[in-house]
Structure 1
Amino acid sequence: MPLKTGKSIGLLLLIQVSALAVPLATMPFLTRVLGPSSWGHLAAIQALAITLAIIVEYGYQYTATRSVSLARDSPDKVKGIIGDVFGAKIILSLVAILVAIGLYFLVPSFQESGALFIAGTIYAIILGWSPLWYFQGVERLETAAAIDVASKVLSAVWIFVAVRQPNDAVIVLGAQACLTAAATAWNISRMMRGAGLPTIRMSRAGKSLLEGFPLFLYRAVVTIYSAGSTAVLRGISTSIETGNYANADRLTTAAKSLVVPVGQVMFPKISRLHAENPADAKKLMMKSLVGVTVPFALAATAGIFLSPWLLPLFFGPDYGVTIPIFQILCLTLPLVAASNVLGIQWMLAKGREKAFNTLVVSSALASIVTMLILVPQLGGVGMAWSVIVAEGLLVLTMILYAVFSRE
């Protein structure tokens, strides 16, 4: 692996790990201080925030990174890309706010704390505006990564100092939103100093949205039936049941997120290789497939066998139901790794957007049907199995497409 590629993956892994490891570090504290009910409600709003943030982010961490990487020798083109992305994000932010308002009035459980819901919505918008895609595209991630990681560490410190009782759940999202906003504003100002002040043309934003739709669809669907499943469960179950599911989901989501930086770095490289040397592109994709799937399968096996001893130590004695849910969700680790490589690094890199969209939507529909059948009877366990169905079907159909499309 070239030095620059390894460095890029390492920096993105650092950002990704901090995004989930720092919140994970606060979980044993929060599950005990907030208690099962308040923790479950907070976890649901946090999951909703992550899901809404996907609307604003829209897959630009892939598509905009690729565009900037290809145009970085032309300052005017880079400035134009930034303007297009910013214009699109203004539209997407409004869409996310409208979705949040609709959910607030449609789902009574979200109305338990209006302040917490508002904080979650603001946090979602801020998350979606991260400009790390620019710094990755120009291969100047070091300082941006340091700022991003520092904001997450400081938010954890704020939480440990300020949260003392179940009613303090809003402080958690407030700390995360404020410090993420500071880091995002700082990195955007650094981007402006490097690229110049962009001109935002809303007419061009529409074109940018169309180009980024396939990756947005994939990330939105995967987020909804993974991280978003906690918010969905809160809408149809108790906060205590949601808290147990959220514990298992947070741990497995943290592990699954580690495959994202690999895809972010490999996607533009494999895209270029498809045009220059398809055989080399296939070899690189296969190496990536083995390189991420095998470690994730080993991690899943370890998680299944060790969870009965480790989870009670981590979350406390009030979350025993977390264990079987976690064991089921561990099965998603190698599935997500495989779908990320086969979908993003192969199908989308080859320009097979239509087939990719069909497979993603089909898996999402299967997840919804399974969810409607299993969740009313099994609660969090049923939600976990619905995620397995979606991920398994997606990987299976991608493999079948690769075999029968003769490509």
Structure 2
Amino acid sequence: MAVGLGIMQGGSSLWYFQGVGKPVRGVAVEAFGQLTALGLIMMFVVDGHGLLLALFFQLIGFAIVCGLGGCMMFAQVGFRAPTMRSLVTSLRDTFPLFFSRASVVIFSTASVFLMSVLAKPQDAAVYGASDRVIGAFTAFLSPLASIMLSKLVGETSRDRLRGLNLSIIMISTVAFVYSMITVFLLFFSHTLMSFLFGAQFKEGGDVLNVLALTLPIIAANTVMGAQVLVSLRMDKYIAITLSGAAVVSLVSTFLIVPNYAGIGMASSRIITEIFIFLCYSFLILRARKAPG
């Protein structure tokens, strides 16, 4: 079922609607499918024993996204069977883009596996629960990013400097909004963890406090990487940066987690996100100073 979820995620038509300048339509389809899945989960899943049912409802949500989005896409462009030559050409030309997207999950996934080895099971569980809370907030960045990207690509293609100045405004605005969310989490982290996962996870509030500090940085990195650098056709540099982040994450996890468990893992996440932020900032400033 998890494999099916992965395939469905890759089958979204969101990128098509971004490419034709209609990102809101793609986001609407994504939101409809996900909200449908969320509604089903809230109605029928009452405890941890309903995990498989929850995954099945998620699968339904993604199926709606793929089915409805696919129908809308093919209604506009029609369906043509690709040739082997066109498939090979597409894979070759889009590999840097694919690799930059795949690199996003490399450092976080590798670090989680390393933590499971270095920390106690209960510490890993507490960190995982805290990370789910952060993930719920960062999930809003995906549809927001889809709308932003089309705007940035248009501005950058017409006037490079104006597009970069607009990107700085977007980065600052998104980071500010997520800073407010961070303040909220810092005040209510223990209560939130206890409410969502039970009293036994209340201690996870300390881990959530540290993870909350990453929210403004993650938000800024998402805009800088997935929007600004993509609009500048710098996918290769995104992949290089995130590959370096994987190394930073693994090293910091190995050094910190054995002594500080979940808080150490959260601290490693902060270090990694700061590394990405500094690299992206350097690339954007260099592009801003470049002629043309």
TM-score category, normalised to shorter length: 0.7 to 0.9
Unaligned 5+ residue runs, structure 1? Answer: 1-118
- Report the alpha carbon displacement of residue 223 of structure 1 after superposing the two structures with TM: 3.0
Cα separation, 2, equivalents of 1:305 and 1:180 = 34
Q: Deviations over 1:367-399 (max 9, x none)?
A: 111122223443322222221111101111232
- 2:72 matched to 1:190? yes
Return the letter of the residue paired with 2:59: A
- Which residue is 2:198 aligned to? 316
Q: Which of 188, 207, 219 in structure 1 is aligned with 2:101? A: 219
> 2:115–2:253: 8 Å Cα contact kept in structure 1?
no
> 1:227–1:253: 8 Å Cα contact kept in structure 2?
no
Q: Deviations over 1:325-382 (max 9, x none)?
A: 1111112111122223333443332233444333222122111111222234433222
Cα distance 1:152–1:260, how it changes in 2: closer, same or farther (>3 A)?
closer
How many pairs are equivalent? 289
State the identity as a percent: 24
> 2:252–2:268: 8 Å Cα contact kept in structure 1?
yes
- 2:230 matched to 1:375? no
Query: What TM-score results when the alignment is normalised by the length of structure 1?
Result: 0.61
Cα distance 1:167–1:341, how it changes in 2: closer, same or farther (>3 A)?
closer
Aligned 1:144-293 pairs, distance under 5 A: 148-160=30-42, 162-163=44-45, 166-226=48-108, 230=112, 233-234=115-116, 240-293=122-175
- 2:177 matched to 1:295? yes
> 2:130–2:193: 8 Å Cα contact kept in structure 1?
no
Return the letter of the residue paired with 2:232: K
- Report the alpha carbon displacement of residue 127 of structure 1 after superposing the two structures with TM: 1.7
Query: What TM-score results when the alignment is normalised by the length of structure 2?
Result: 0.82
Cα distance 1:372–1:363, how it changes in 2: closer, same or farther (>3 A)?
same
- 2:225 matched to 1:343? yes
Classify the secondary structure of the residue corresponding to 1:334.
Answer: helix
Cα distance 1:162–1:308, how it changes in 2: closer, same or farther (>3 A)?
closer
- Which residue is 1:395 aligned to? 277
Q: Deviations over 1:234-286 (max 9, x none)?
A: 56656543332222112212222333334333334333433432222122112
Classify the secondary structure of the residue corresponding to 1:130.
Answer: coil
Cα separation, 2, equivalents of 1:353 and 1:155 = 32
Cα separation, 1, equivalents of 2:89 and 2:234 = 19
Cα distance 1:147–1:264, how it changes in 2: closer, same or farther (>3 A)?
closer
Q: Deviations over 1:284-332 (max 9, x none)?
A: 1122122211112222233223313333233320102321211111121
Q: Which of 236, 244, 251 in structure 2 is aligned with 1:362? A: 244
> 1:293–1:337: 8 Å Cα contact kept in structure 2?
yes
- 2:184 matched to 1:305? no
Return the letter of the residue paired with 1:346: V
Cα separation, 2, equivalents of 1:317 and 1:138 = 49
Cα separation, 1, equivalents of 2:36 and 2:223 = 33
Q: Which of 330, 347, 352 in structure 1 is aligned with 2:212? A: 330
- Report the alpha carbon displacement of residue 129 of structure 1 after superposing the two structures with TM: 0.8
> 1:152–1:179: 8 Å Cα contact kept in structure 2?
yes
> 1:225–1:387: 8 Å Cα contact kept in structure 2?
no
Cα distance 1:296–1:202, how it changes in 2: closer, same or farther (>3 A)?
farther
Return the letter of the residue paired with 1:316: G
135-144 or 245-254, which deviates more: 135-144
Superposed CA RMSD in Å reads 3.1
Cα distance 1:390–1:210, how it changes in 2: closer, same or farther (>3 A)?
farther
Unaligned 5+ residue runs, structure 2? Answer: none
